[in-house]
Structure 1
């Protein structure tokens, strides 16, 4: 539990992401850490092509919700 708390305190309000353009749902990468996370997100979405059916959709939805949530947690 201590590791999770330490991780949360590290990312919270770190300023890695900024809100996207008006009306944009996805957070915009601002710092180099965010660009690395964004690259990993794109690679994971592309890798989900090998999955079939509902598993592929579920994986993509989880990745998108996780990326959006993580990005919003780092807003300054």
Structure 2
């Protein structure tokens, strides 16, 4: 089994009907355990990522808007 990154802080309150149904992310680890697909030992809590790694896969503008909490709701 591949390691599965998970942390309870991944669940964020979003408005009803938002395109990312957050509840499914909260329930996914439980379902994987229930179905026997994963074991508790398969899960780990990731460490914060350094900025260089983030910028390797996201633009400066996108990253800055996230860090400054000015990202467009449609992003």
> TM (normalized to structure 2)?
0.30
Higher helix fraction (1 or 2):
1
Q: Rg bigger for which structure?
A: 2
